Amino acid sequence: MFTVIRSKEAVLQALASTVNRDPTASDYRFQDDPYLTPKTSSEFKLFSLSQESGRNAAKYFISTYPKYFQKDYAQPHIPCLMPETLEAQIEEVSEAALIERIQMRKVKAAVDLYDQLQQAGTPVSLDVTNQLLDLICFYGDCDPAQENEDVQDEPQTKKGRASPCLVFSFRENNNAERIFALLSEPNTHSYSALIRGMVKYGAYSKAFSTYTDLLNNQLKADVSTFNALITAAPEVKEKYNEKWELIVDLLKQMAEQKVKPNLLTLNAVLKALRRCGTVGKSQAFPVISEMRALSIDPSLASYNHLLSIFYKPGAPFQGQTDILQEVMNEVSGKSFTPQDPDDAQFFITAVRICLDTKDIEQAYRVHELLGVGENWRLLGNDFQQNIYHARFFSLLCMMENIDVVLKWYRDLVPSVYYPSSNVMRDLLQVLDTDNRLDLIPQIWKDLKQLGHGNRQTLVEELLTLMAREKQNQEVQETFAECALDIKKMYDTGDRGKVMMSWTAGSLSDLVSVLLAAQRRQDAWEILKLFKTHNRVPSEELLDKFLTCIKESGDVNQALELVQISAGFCLPGTPKLIQRVQQEFLLSEQQNLSFQTHISHNKNSLLFTFSVSDTEKPVHAL
Amino acid sequence: MYRRLLININQVRNRLIHTHNTRLTLPSTKCKERESFAPVTWAPCTARPLGTSSISFSENKESSTSLSEDKGKTPEETEVNAEVNTDGQRNTEMNEGTEISNATLTSQLETEPVVKPEDRKQVETTKSGKESLLELLGAMKVEVTTVRKIRPSKTPRMSERPDQEPMESTHSMFQRAAAEGSQQHGTLNPALVAAVSAAASTLPNRHQAESELLKQLRKHEAIPDTQRRADIGHIISDMKVGKRPNGRSNVRPTSQIRFDDDGKGYTQDRGITSELDGVRRRKSPFTSKRLNLFAAAAEQDALSDLGPTLWDIDLVNQIVQATNQMPRNGFEEMIQWTKEGRLWQYPINNEAGLEEEASVPFHEHVFLEKHLDESFPQQGPVRHFMELVITGLAKNHHLTVQQKKEHIDWFRDYFRQKEDVLKEAEAYLN
């Protein structure tokens, strides 16, 4: 009989594999409510965290008030929906009660109970004591953070809470060492717990002396002890050579004690080699070969360490590009399962190196690897995903032409990636280089949606690009629309957010764009803004404006323009006056008013005259 | 002395830069006498074109030097070198293209039994240093051959330099050292000779005085030579250090290729092959040699008998934290729910939901007669009724075996309770 053993998720996995990513849809977790579809990175963060915190709040209430959640609707029974028991059930002083407290990870309660048992003279078995040691060493002799707080899963808060324990580090004569000293015959497990705890909480040299104790007691260490010691090796030695010699020594002892290394050993060695300078470069590959010979295949974390050994951030990297290539040759097309917490660093490191070396070929290979199997899980959390995509997209902007960049842009933004304003500026530069400025209005829409509509530098750059060259009529029309839209952003200013302030440059760019699109009236409105915001227009701008007015022959506006110019005391005012007098047909009335206007501003004009050499029309005055 | 001779070889190679060598006052006719021997010993060589003859010469030399255990042959070899030197003196007027004569001349000298007295004297004085000489020659081997190999490829003098530059290694170093040595010779000796003849002309017996003076001068020169030996020894030992570790193995195959063609594509040849070599060598750093710390088939580490420890749980937790566990679509979410036990699992075969009965074989369900044996009547209407009941139960797939048993037990109890009634009706026959 032939039976295929399938997991119970086999059908679902087969179904899931038929679903491709939809580049137009947002992340799956936001699809329940279209109102909560995030449009910016901050919204993304907010929504995903609020979803998670809602779950945690529910869990907290169920666990805090279990008596209200006793009704079991599910048939058959679903354990994970029922409240967890957080209170110890066994009250008496016994080994069973100790085991219960250990399982509930109540460090202090367990230690107290152990002491009571000792005082009562009740023997506690070695296994249970070892578990207790594990517990104490793991939490560094203080209760786990979530004890009296809400139940939470977020790594950041966990880290924040764990830090007080790290500050205390591995104190002298803490409970772990005290209980350890009470053991008549500590075994490998006891030593392992102690050494791992010491390494975890930074008591590195103590860990090594405990290891010496272990050897003196004619015991063998286990693989996790060695892993911890290898991790600690770079901390106890100063020189690169000494560090490496210590690691080799540990590995030799492993071989002597017939301890089979595992993947974590390999990764620990490679991670230690990252801190061994040039020794790392020479020894990294032999280490991998050694582990290969023991049929331990490197995981992505191993490759990540390897890349970090050869490419130090900020260091020159000539002649090492081929290492990335070699690594990619090794990993391409393989599907990796998470085996080490550092696995999730690989993609970020790889794409960073691609960006540093400007190696677009390898970047594509890295991205391709991401699509293989379950590798997408190894990209890490949202933050890491964002870093990865930012680096990848920056590289694309740097190396590829606009069509390719836009293809990726449409694919990644905004379904998986919310670009930062810096990356958007890169994109604008690509548009500029490849002379596709006609796409600017489109990009502006995205910018607005991505929440970058109020980034002053970005918006100013956008305006400059639009104003710089004269495009065809159609494009100019869209530019004008876009420019007016940008003006609206200046006017409204989101509640609470920093408002953008007009500069002379951005205002004149705006006027130029509008003039180029024959929007004289809109431009005139903008021109007035110069005064309200205390900015001074350039002479060229007014000159340009006058040319535009002349086309329509609006004499009054021309006069007003001259008046504005005079109001700013521009040195070019006399020239403008000359132009108006020459190019426009002034009626008697207008001429009169013109002159009164000017005489009105005589003071300023006098200043102007003194600056510029007196010219003909001025003489006429 | 041998070192000095080696230098002299290079002096010749240096396009016979120095023309005036005091020791080269030896009559060249001595060589000419044995010219008749040349075709005999070097017949195949002379028949060849110019380029190849000099190559074979160098090959020969290489092979003989490599046979360094053959001590008797090495002095001969040095004689050859010496002769190259003397030949160089003759060639001062000749152009560099006279390699054929070079070859033939050296071949004569190889057979020449008589060595010039001065040279012999020097051989004797340094006989004790023969061991070191052999070492030196062994180290020089590669150098000498490369020098000779380059020769056919260059015809104009100026083109030699760029040709040799890619070699770069010890060769150019040697050349430089040799050039320095030759410079010393060239500048010092003509002046001395001139001074000697000027001094001698003032004396009555002019010729005798000159020869005496020159003899004295030669004696003096022997001293700086011994002194210089140390320096050059340093240089040569430096060369050994500077040599690429795989230089020897590299030179062989490429040089053989070069013998076949006309020597034109020398540099390109080398470039491509060395590049290919490089590619082959760094094919993949992942296949580099291992540390050899562990035995290949180490025993399997015994897993802890207590199940996962806190550390193991934490490791898994860390991995879960580090990786992206967010579902990308509805199916993945359902997978997650299935794993948590919240969702009834999708059937993967026709035994879905069979956890309770998984270990119960089918005949327990179907053949239920054995449950009737003990306490039911063997015949009669009750028996008949119960047979119908078990037939029905056998076909019922909704009940577990336990439930079927309970069903039968219920009837057993029932009929037992009604035993009186049944007996009265004569239906309970036992």
pLDDT tens, position by position, A278-319: 888 888 999 999 888 888 899 999 999 999 998 887 766 665
Which of A81, A258, A379 faces B324 most closely, judged by CB atoms? Answer: A379
Distance from CA of B292 to the nearest CA of A (A): 7
A156 min Cα distance to partner chain B (Å): 11
Among the listed ranges A329-338, A497-506, B43-52, B202-211, which one has the minimum average pLDDT value?
B43-52
Instruction: For residue B278, give how far its alpha carbon lies from the nearest alpha carbon of chain A (Å).
Output: 13
Size of interface A-B (CB pairs under 8 A): 166
Distance from CA of A250 to the nearest CA of B (A): 10
Predicted confidence band at A427 (pLDDT cuts at 50, 70, 90)?
Answer: very high
Is B340's CB within 8 Å of A80's CB? Answer: yes
Cα(A500)–Cα(B36) distance, integer angstroms: 103
- State how far the Cα of A564 lies from the Cα of A533, in Å rounded to an integer: 14
Report the chain B residue with the minimal C-alpha distance to residue A259. Answer: B301
pLDDT at A597: 59
**pLDDT category of residue A555 using cuts at 50, 70 and 90:** confident
The whole-number pLDDT of residue B20 equals 41
A-facing residues of B in 270-289 (CB < 8 A) are 282, 284-289
Average pLDDT over residues B129-135: 61
- Residue A456 scores a pLDDT above 70: yes
Tell me the C-alpha to C-alpha distance, in Å, between residue B165 and each of A258, B96, B169, B175, B267.
55, 20, 9, 11, 10
Angle at B252 between CA B247 and CA B256, to 5 degrees: 145
B350 touches chain A (CB under 8 A): no
| A451: pLDDT strictly greater than 80 | yes
Determine the average pLDDT of the residues in A161-186.
69
Q: pLDDT value at position B223?
A: 52
More confident residue, B242 or A134: A134
**Could you tell me which chain A residue has the CA closest to the CA of B293?**
A252
Asked if A12 lies within 8 A of B285 by C-beta distance, the reply is: no
Q: What is the mean pLDDT of chain B?
A: 59
Q: Is there a contact between A576 and A561 (Cβ–Cβ < 8 Å)?
A: yes
What confidence category does residue A362 fall into, taking pLDDT thresholds of 50, 70 and 90?
Answer: very high
- Would you place residue A103 in the very low, low, confident or very high pLDDT band (cuts 50, 70, 90)? confident
Out of B314, B327, B341, the one facing A28 most closely (by C-beta) is B327
Q: Which of residues 174-203 of A touch B (CB under 8 A)?
A: 189, 196
Confidence tier at B235 by pLDDT (50, 70, 90): low
pLDDT of residue A347: 94
Mean pLDDT calculated for residue range A231-244: 91
Judged by a CB distance cut-off of 8 A, whether residue B158 touches chain A is no
Picking from A128, A140, A120, A265, the residue whose alpha carbon sits closest to that of residue A203 is A140
Residue owning tokens 């020239």: A575
Burial of B304 (0-12, 13-18, 19+ CB in 10 A): middle
Of the pLDDT bands very low, low, confident and very high (cuts 50, 70, 90), residue A390 is: very high
**What average pLDDT does the structure give for chain A?**
84
User: What does the alpha-carbon distance between residue B82 and residue B101 come to, in Å, rounded to a whole number?
Assistant: 15
Contact A310, A282 (CB under 8 A): no
Nearest to B296 among A294, A323, A338 (CB): A294
Contacts of A189 in chain B (CB under 8 A): 304
Residues written for chain A: 621
Higher pLDDT, residue A590 or A29: A29
Q: Do A80 and B342 touch (CB under 8 A)?
A: yes
- Asked if the Cβ–Cβ distance from B290 to A379 is below 8 Å, we say no
Which residues in chain B are contacts of A342 at CB distance < 8 A?
Answer: 322
Hey, which of A7-11, A465-469, B215-219 has the most confident mean pLDDT?
A465-469
The total number of residues written for chain B in this structure: 430
pLDDT tens digit sequence for B60-107: 444 444 434 444 444 444 444 444 444 444 444 444 444 444 444 444
| Separation CA A297–CA A264 (nearest Å) | 11
**b (16+ CB within 10 A) / e for A94-110:** bbebbbbbbebbbbebb
Could you say which of B286, B326, B334 has the minimum Cβ distance to residue A285?
A: B286
Nearest to B290 among A293, A322, A323 (CB): A293
pLDDT of residue A415: 85
- The Cα–Cα gap between A560 and A590 comes to 11
Kindly determine whether residue B335 and residue A224, on different chains, have CB atoms separated by under 8 Å.
no
Q: Which residues contact A314 (CB under 8 A, 6 or more apart)?
A: none
Torsion of CA A221, A223, A228, A229, to 10 degrees: 50
The residues, ordered by sequence, that sit 6+ positions from B408 with a Cβ below 8 Å of its Cβ are B368, B371, B372, B386, B389, B390, B393
Q: Is A8 on the interface with B (CB under 8 A)?
A: yes
| Test the A interface: residue of B275, B283, B284, B286 with most A CBs within 10 Å | B286
- Judged by a CB distance cut-off of 8 A, whether residue A81 touches chain B is yes
**Which of A366-370, A379-383, B132-136 is least confident?**
B132-136
Tell me the nearest-neighbour CA distance from B276 into chain A, angstroms.
16
How close is the nearest chain A Cα to the Cα of B317, in Å? 9
Candidates A6, A29, A341; nearest CB to B348 = A6
Chain B touched by A25 (CB under 8 Å)? no
Radius of gyration of chain B (CA): 51
Which range among A318-332, A335-349, B76-90, B229-243 shows the weakest confidence by mean pLDDT? B76-90
Whether residue B319 and residue A260 make contact (CB cut-off 8 A), yes or no, is: no
Question: Is residue B408 pLDDT above 90, yes or no?
Answer: yes
Sign of the alpha-carbon torsion through A297, A302, A303, A307 = negative
Closest CA to A226 of A252, A187, A190: A252
DSSP B380-393: SHHHHHHHHHHHHH
Q: Pick from B279, B281, B289, B291 the residue to mutate for testing the A interface (most A CBs within 10 Å).
A: B291
Instruction: Answer whether residue A406 shows pLDDT above 80.
Output: yes
Q: Is A255 or B190 the better-scoring residue by pLDDT?
A: A255
CA angle A205, A206, A211 (to 5 degrees): 100
What is the structure's pLDDT at B183?
A: 46
Is residue B307 less than 8 Å (CB to CB) from chain A?
no
Residues contacting residue B43 through CB under 8 Å, at least 6 positions apart: none
Q: Residues near B194 by Cβ (< 8 Å), separated by ≥ 6? A: none
First vs last C-alpha separation in chain A = 114
Are A258 and B298 an interchain contact pair (Cβ–Cβ within 8 Å)?
yes
| Predicted pLDDT of residue A497 | 56
Read off the pLDDT of each residue in A611-621 and give the average, rounded to a whole number. 41
The predicted pLDDT at position B249 comes to 37
CA A524 → CA A178, A521, A529, A556, A558, distances in Å? 84, 5, 9, 13, 11
Q: What is the DSSP letter of A30?
A: G
Average pLDDT over residues A193-200: 90
pLDDT band at A596 (very low <50, low <70, confident <90, very high): low
Mutate one of A105, A127, A129, A260 to test the B interface: name it (highest B CB count within 10 A): A260
Cβ-contact A225, A191 below 8 angstroms: yes
Identify the band that residue A268 occupies on the pLDDT scale cut at 50, 70 and 90.
very high
For residue A208, the model assigns a pLDDT of 93
pLDDT band at residue A273 under the 50/70/90 scheme? very high
pLDDT of residue A225: 93
Residues of A in contact with B296 (CB under 8 A): 293-294
Select the residue of B291, B315, B342 nearest A286 (Cβ to Cβ).
B291
Are the beta carbons of A289 and B290 separated by less than 8 Å? yes
Burial class (CB in 10 A: 0-12, 13-18, 19+), A194: buried
pLDDT at A318: 61
Confidence of residue A429 (pLDDT cuts 50, 70, 90): very high
Mean pLDDT for the stretch of residues B181-202: 59
- The torsion angles phi and psi of B429, rounded to 5 degrees, stand at -105, 110
Is residue B159 pLDDT above 70, yes or no?
Answer: no
Euclidean distance between CA atoms A548 and A583, whole angstroms: 12
Choice among A320-329, A523-532, B26-35 with the minimum mean pLDDT:
B26-35
Task: Determine contact, residues A291/A322, Cβ cutoff 8 Å.
Answer: no
Number of neighbouring beta carbons within 10 Å of residue B84: 22
Distance CA A423, CA A41 (A): 13
User: For every residue of A54-117, which 3-state class applies, written as one string?
Assistant: HHHHHHHHHHHCHHHHCCCCCCCCCHHHCCCCCCCCCCCCCHHHHHHHHHCCCHHHHHHHHHHH
Q: Which of A111-115, A317-321, A334-338, B312-316 has the weakest average pLDDT?
A: A317-321
CB contact under 8 A, B326 and A27: yes
Kindly list the residues from chain B whose CB atom is less than 8 angstroms away from the CB atom of residue A8: 338, 345-346, 348
Task: Check: CB of residue A132 under 8 Å from CB of residue A98.
Answer: yes
A606 to each of A245, A603, A617, how far by Cα in Å?
Answer: 86, 5, 14
Do the Cβ atoms of B296 and A189 come within 8 Å? no
pLDDT confidence band for B231 (50 / 70 / 90): low
Contact A300, A346 (CB under 8 A): yes
Task: List pLDDT tens digits, range B336-383.
Answer: 998 888 888 788 777 777 777 778 888 989 999 888 877 788 888 888
Q: What is the pLDDT of residue B422?
A: 86
The whole-angstrom distance between B279's CA and the closest CA on chain A is 11
Tell me, what's the pLDDT at A370?
92
- Chain A, residues 281-340, CB within 8 A of chain B, namely 283, 285-290, 292-294, 322-323, 326, 329-330, 338-340
B299 contacts A260? CB cut-off 8 A: yes
Interface list for A 374-393 with B (CB within 8 A): 376-381, 385
CB-CB contact of B196 with B210 (8 Å): yes
According to the model, what pLDDT value does residue A392 have?
95
Q: Do B335 and A21 touch (CB under 8 A)?
A: no
What one-character-per-residue DSSP string does B106-146 give? HHHHHH--PPPHHHHHHHHHTGGGHHHHHHHHHHHHHHHHH
Q: What angle do CA B27, B30, B34 make, to 5 degrees?
A: 155
Nearest CA in chain B to A327: B286
* Cβ-contact B117, B57 below 8 angstroms: no
Contact yes or no for B323 and A155 at CB 8 A: no
In chain B, pLDDT over 90 holds for what percent of residues? 9
Task: Give residue-wise pLDDT tens across range B263-291.
Answer: 443 334 444 444 444 444 456 778 778 78
Q: Which of B311, B339, B348 sits opposite A134 (nearest CB)?
A: B311
Q: Which residues pair with A316 in a beta bridge?
A: none
Q: Is the pLDDT of residue B18 over 60?
A: no
Query: For residue B237, what pLDDT is reported?
Result: 52
Dump pLDDT digits (tens) for B309-325.
Answer: 888 888 999 998 888 88
Q: Is B327 on the interface with A (CB under 8 A)?
A: yes
